[in-house]
Structure 1
Amino acid sequence: MEKPFKAASVQFNPKLNRRNANIRELKSRVKQAAEQGAKLIVTPEMATTGYHYLDRSAISTYVDTIPGLTTDQFSEIAEEYGVYIVIGMAKEDLETGLYYNSSALVGPEGYIGKYRKIHQWVVENYWSCWGDIGCPVYETEIGKISMIICQDSTYLESARLAAVNGADILCFPTNSSSASISMLQHWSEMNGLYVVSANRSNKEEDFQMIGASAIWSPYGDKIAEAPVSRNEEGEGPGLLIGEINPADYQNPAKDRMLERRMDSYKELMLFLGPWDYTKNTHSRHIKAGAIQYEPVIGNKEANLHKVKQLIDEKVEEDVNLIVLPEVSVIGPVKTKKKQDIHSFAETDDGPTVREMKKIAQEKGAHIVFGFAEKELPHYYNSAILISPEGEVIGKHRKIHLDDWDEHWATPGNQISITPVNGFGRIGMMIGYDAVFPEVASVMAVKRADMICIPTSWNGQYGIELSMNDDMFDKPYPKGTVSTWDAVAKGAQSFTIVANFVGTEENFKGRSAIYNLDQNYTEDETVIASETEESVLVNNFHTMKTDWWLDQEKLILTRRTAFYKPLVTREPPFF
């Protein structure tokens, strides 16, 4: 299909243990969507049965096969109206007798395919096996369709698998209290996918689902969003309709798939579970500062003077981590010839590095700053970590190059974490690296407590978050950028971003220190202005072991067996 078409989210509240009644009502809602012209219709997670079951015996009466009676009934509607329907349901595998939290896709010609939820939440673990078929993509008249379910979106690998496997549209049945749907705008923009999310809006047992079903474009734009519901009975079944334009299936995020550096992501496949003796086990108090300023491109002396001035005048004495922008004292020098960077480049014991060592000693703080590194015959866009004692203790060489540094820089190939005694584990990425979620995933595997991102961002990626603020205890601050928030949440690691300002290069500022979850109110995300030079400071404590999700829980529930398409050129698992 080349012309735009309508997609619909059916925001539906099934009754527990009432499968037949639920299916009758759900069919009515699906028909209503089809009669309003929708070509793709998505229903919530477990839409035919309700969600809370104590064990296999409790749900055994209500499971169905895929294909089976349920898919047959919806296939009749799909054939009658010429539409595609995604049904969230509990599935039994007849060969094994195992149950799965699943979704099924049917179309005008009948049953097409299924998905089995890979990353499960607590409740369904009592009766459902974890999914075992990867993240299939199904080719249809309206585009290539993939499905993931609810808790899956907490893991950056899930939507990335759909994108890497070739999907155009990601269908997302969910029963969400906000956590899973809060990541959908990030994953749409980062992966170049239309996302069609269908949620419930009522309370079942002690769990309140908040509605806010939504449709997102591959650019991260909100096409449609239902209201947030805090009503225990729900706001009643609803229908959300938005337009999908197949012309947008090819987009900048899809183009970036060709820039993925899979050899650098191999550690994403590791499962460093409960016996990881390298991880930090203590929460640390961090007072971090991000330095934001307007650079004089190519003028080391002027930029170094400004950095010193900002640190002397505005960095408080007890700040223990300072992050500077990408290529901190030269700015993003644009040159078409590799040799032209030579006069700006230096070794990791060059004059600028020595000056930064002095600053670290004077302030008694760790410093992360970026520079053009010379290791002949190569030059690298690098960042180094300096200890309060004035020693270089960590280094990152930018892996994914921009159009301005690809002419002179050799790409790095390592994603490293620096363990610092009594402080925590510090990861670094530079600018454009953050666009590739695999980098944050490796940093999670390596148990980064903090991620520092020197950048020179002028809006070339990322989008300001625009989910309904009512879904959060504390709304996102104005200026929150999807890319960096995704790093913090995807790795469950506090993320410090330092950027430039200035009209000449149209730098966008918004240096920031990102929290791990906007509903965790003890810490907060803080964002600098888009235009003003400043030192942004924030306090936080690492390792949120008292929260519903922390890095340890994330690590223990990653499903590495299905992530192979992210790091190899082998065919997808399915």
Structure 2
Amino acid sequence: MQGKATFKAASIQFNPKLNRRNANIKRLKEYVTAAAQDGAKLIVTPEMATTGYHYLDRSAIAPYVDTIPGLTTAQFEGIAREYQTHIVIGMAEVDAETGLYYNSAALVGPDGYIGKYRKIHQWVVENYWSCWGDIGSPVFETEIGNIAMIICQDATYLESARLAAVNGADILCFPTNSSGASISMLQHWAEMNGLYVVSANRTNQEEAFQMVGASAIWSPYGEKLAEAPFCSDANGDTPVRIEGEIQPSCYDNEAKARMLERRMDAYKELMLFLGPWDYVKNTVSRTIKAAAIQYEPQIGNKEANLHTIQHLIEDEVPEDVNLIVLPELSVIGPVPTTKKQDIDPYAETDDGATIQEMKRLAKAKEAHIVFGFAEKEAPHYYNTAILISPAGEVISKHRKIHLNDDDDKWASPGDTIAVTPVNGFGRIGVMIGYDATFPEVAAVLAVKRADMICIPASWSGEYGVELSMNQHIFPKPYPKGTVSTWDAVAKGAQAYTIVANFVGSPHRFKGRSAIYNLDQNYTNDETVIASCDAEEVLVNTFQTMKTDWWLDQEKLILTRRTSYYTPLVTMVPPFL
């Protein structure tokens, strides 16, 4: 949206009182009006801002629901008209025709009511009175940009923000009542989807449930533009307003451009609903000790790189490690090419000499190894990763699906996202580097019940940002160097994620090989990150099959709303 002026967005961190709709609306209007008077052209309020959140059943909330549009939206329309602004109101909705209730958000603007969103992915409490949203993820064209809304628990599902982006959103408004989990994903979704994200949370306690504040505004590049204080005090009740500048010139960005590269035919299994009767899923928790190996490659020098790998595996990897992940194109690195034939001297079939040596190392170490190479299968070449068993057998192969500029010069894209069951070990999924920037890949791996996801990478910082949300959200802060892209894979798929990357020049590889936990609230397991510049064997031990927390892969699978995900596998974004 070139030529449009920069404008101010505001988030109102507001604490409604349960069962006090009229009083809540009166107070909320005061804060919204103040923001509008100060020039905000977009104002976002929390989830259920007019009623409070905890209701035991339909009868409890019945006196406080309203239609959309209705009396509530009409009161905010006056403010929007007077100050030429846009307002998002979190509220409990009753459908006038059916009498059904929804946890909704309404959007009003200078010309009155614009549209609404009904929460698709619900948390436990609202299930007692609210129907799950039934209108998908609409995007509303306005004079300040295309606006979408999602609510609280929606952010746990990588599909939610992606749907908004694919449907053409520039700004994602996020009303929430969060204790921390949902707001912890907003930076990821902003950067991955190229969206401004404006979130509004609460800071008080309701029915022993503590909302933690930390409302925030994120840029499409994952930059934190504003953040309200974190609050763990049950008495926290002071409204806070934060503001950030939105630049319409940033609506066109690299993440949006990547959407043109989506491989929708490869994502079709994202639409499957494999639950509750899924007979292929793993049901046994396993202890995995994994190693991610990072080193500086000598570009194109197989012998030197293979020697480095041999040394690191034989001398530096502990004897009880049972999974080893190496970087993308492990023994050649990103070789400069101008045409397909340039890769031929470096390419091998999947029974080539280098692969034979990797099989030997796997047997000697009695470990699974994920290894990347340039695969030759005439007339094609592929950027490939293979999984080798401790018996020295190739048991799966992943061909990189999304090719970056270097790959495009020589490689053909793969077309399959696979998960490999390994008896007595677990279910292993693989993606390669740039694949991780497309959240649809992680979604398919989750559907296929990957316990672990291995990512050989060749990353120089061209995507992803270091996480910068308020670390007080978590009992154990993220380690320094945590990268949004990799963390989004682990959380979005609820699968432990092992990333192996290079370090060093001339490509300025960023290192930060890592083993990502499923949720930083798990205090028994932890995310570990390697350095950005040193050769390293990073080791971590974890237990698969978490079932003792608020979210695990099983709960994720059983609560996905596949009927609304169709645009992810069928639609080219309208802005393209």
User: Amino acid of the residue matched to residue 187 of structure 2?
Assistant: Q
Per the alignment, residue 233 of structure 1 pairs with 235
**C-alpha separation in 2, matches of 1:405 and 1:569:** 25
Q: What stretches of structure 1 of length at least 5 have no aligned partner?
A: none
SS in 1 for 2:551: coil
Q: Distance in 1 between matches of 2:551 and 2:133?
A: 20
- Residues 1:313 and 2:323 aligned together: no
Amino acid at match of 1:254: K
Task: Specify the alignment match of 2:11 in structure 1.
Answer: 9
| 1:303-382 map, 5 Å | 303-382=305-384
Matches within 5 A, 1:107-506: 107-506=109-508
Rounded Cα–Cα distance in structure 2 between residues aligned with 1:421 and 1:391: 14
Please give the residue correspondences for 1:44-63 in structure 2 after superposition, counting only pairs within 5 Å. Answer: 44-63=46-65
**1:516 counterpart residue number:** 518
Matched with 1:38 is 40
Q: Distance in 2 between matches of 1:66 and 1:480?
A: 41
Offset of 1:503 from its aligned partner? 2.1
Q: Report SS of the residue matched to 2:408.
A: coil
Q: TM-score, normalised by structure 2?
A: 0.99
Q: Partners in 2 of 1:273 and 1:82 — Cα distance?
A: 47
- Counterpart AA for 1:415: I
C-alpha spacing 1:294/1:281, structure 2 compared with 1 (3 Å): same
Query: C-alpha distance in 1, partners of 2:473/2:521?
Result: 9
**Structure 2 unaligned spans of 5+:** none
Farther-moved stretch of structure 1 (116-125 vs 561-570): 561-570
Q: Which amino acid in 1 is paired with 2:245?
A: E
Once residues 75 and 505 of structure 1 are traced to their aligned partners in structure 2, the CA distance between those partners, rounded to angstroms, is 54
Please name the residue that 2:21 is paired with. 19
Q: Secondary structure at the match of 1:404?
A: helix
SS in 2 for 1:241: strand
User: Is contact 1:105-1:114 (8 Å) kept?
Assistant: yes
In structure 2, C-alpha distance between the alignment counterparts of 1:469 and 1:235, rounded to whole Å: 21
Structure 1 position 569, deviation (Å) = 2.8
Q: Which residue of 1 aligns with 2:108?
A: 106
Partner of 1:561: 563
Contact 2:166 2:572 in 1 (8 A): no
Question: Which whole-Å deviations, capped at 9, do the CAs of 1:485-531 have from their partners, x for residues lacking one?
Answer: 00000000000000000121100000000000001111000000000
The Cα of 1:570 is off from its aligned counterpart by 8.2
| SS of structure 2 residue aligned to 1:405 | helix
Distance 1:312 1:423 in 2: 22
Q: Share of identical aligned residues, percent?
A: 77
User: How many Å apart are 1:76 and its aligned residue?
Assistant: 0.3
Query: Secondary structure of the residue that 1:60 maps to in structure 2?
Result: helix
Would the aligned equivalents of 1:291 and 1:498 in 2 still touch at CA under 8 Å? yes
1:243 corresponds to which letter in structure 2?
A: E
| In structure 2, C-alpha distance between the alignment counterparts of 1:110 and 1:291, rounded to whole Å | 57
Provide, for residues 356-395 of structure 1, a one-character-per-residue CA deviation record: whole Å limited to 9, x for no partner: 0000000000000100000000000000000000000010
Contact 2:166/2:571 (CA < 8 Å) preserved in 1?
Answer: no
Cα offset for 1:274? 1.1
Distance of 2:375 and 2:107 partners within structure 1 = 52
Deviations 1:44-101 (A, max 9, x none): 0000000000000000000000000000000000001100000000000011000000
Moved over 6 A (4+): none
CA, structure 1 residues 570+346, in 2 after alignment: closer, same or farther (shift >3 Å)? closer
Partners of 2:281 and 2:473 lie apart in 1 by 33
Partner Cα distance (1:165, 1:479) in 2: 32
CA distance in 1, matches of 2:344, 2:507: 22
Are the counterparts in 2 of residues 138 and 145 from structure 1 also a CA contact under 8 Å? yes
Distance 1:258 1:547, change over 3 A: same
Contact 1:229/1:235 (CA < 8 Å) preserved in 2?
A: no
CA distance in 1 between partners of 2:166 and 2:496 (Å)? 27
**Partner SS state of residue 234, structure 1:** coil
RMSD over equivalenced CA pairs, Å? 0.9
Query: What is the SS of the residue equivalent to 2:404?
Result: coil
CA contact (8 A) 1:296 1:302 kept: yes
Q: Take 2:482 and 2:516, find their aligned partners in 1: how far apart are those partners?
A: 9
* Cα displacement (A) at 1:36: 1.3
CA distance in 1, matches of 2:333, 2:349: 17
Q: Confirm or deny: 8 A CA contact 1:323 1:496 kept in the other structure.
A: yes
Alpha-carbon distance in 2 for matches of 1:399, 1:566: 16
Q: Is the 8 A contact 1:334 1:405 kept in 2?
A: no
**Equivalenced residues, count:** 572
Matching residue's letter, 2:119: K
**Any idea what SS the aligned residue of 1:2 has?**
coil
Distance 2:297 2:72 in 1: 62
Q: Could you give the per-residue CA deviations for residues 128-151 of structure 1, whole angstroms, max 9, x where no partner exists?
A: 000000000000010000000000
Alpha-carbon distance in 2 for matches of 1:540, 1:413: 31
C-alpha distance in structure 1 between counterparts of 2:231 and 2:276, whole Å: 38
> 1:403-459 CA deviation, whole Å, 9 max, x = no partner?
111110000000000000000000000000000000000000000000000000000
Q: Which position in structure 2 is the counterpart of 1:550? A: 552
Query: What amino acid is aligned across from residue 289 of structure 1 in structure 2?
Result: A
Which SS does the other structure have where 2:372 is aligned?
A: strand
Whether the aligned pair in 2 keeps the contact of 1:396 and 1:416 (CA below 8 Å) is yes
Shift of 1:172: 0.1
Asked if 1:525 corresponds to 2:527, the answer is: yes
TM-score (norm 1): 0.99
Whether contact under 8 Å (1:47, 1:89) holds in the other structure is yes
1:182 maps to a residue whose letter is S
- SS in structure 2 opposite 1:331? coil
- Alpha-carbon separation, structure 1, partners of 2:549 and 2:110: 45
Code of the residue aligned with 2:468 in structure 1: it is S
**Quick check: 2:180–2:212 contact (8 Å CA) kept in 1?**
yes
1:326-384 CA distance string (max 9 Å, x none): 00000011201101111110111000000000000000000001000000000000000
**How far has the Cα of 1:301 moved from its partner?**
0.3
The answer on whether the counterparts of 1:148 and 1:158 sit within 8 Å (CA) in structure 2 is yes
Q: Structure 2 counterpart of 1:256, which letter?
A: R
Distance 1:216 1:300, change over 3 A: same
How big is the shift at 1:234?
1.5
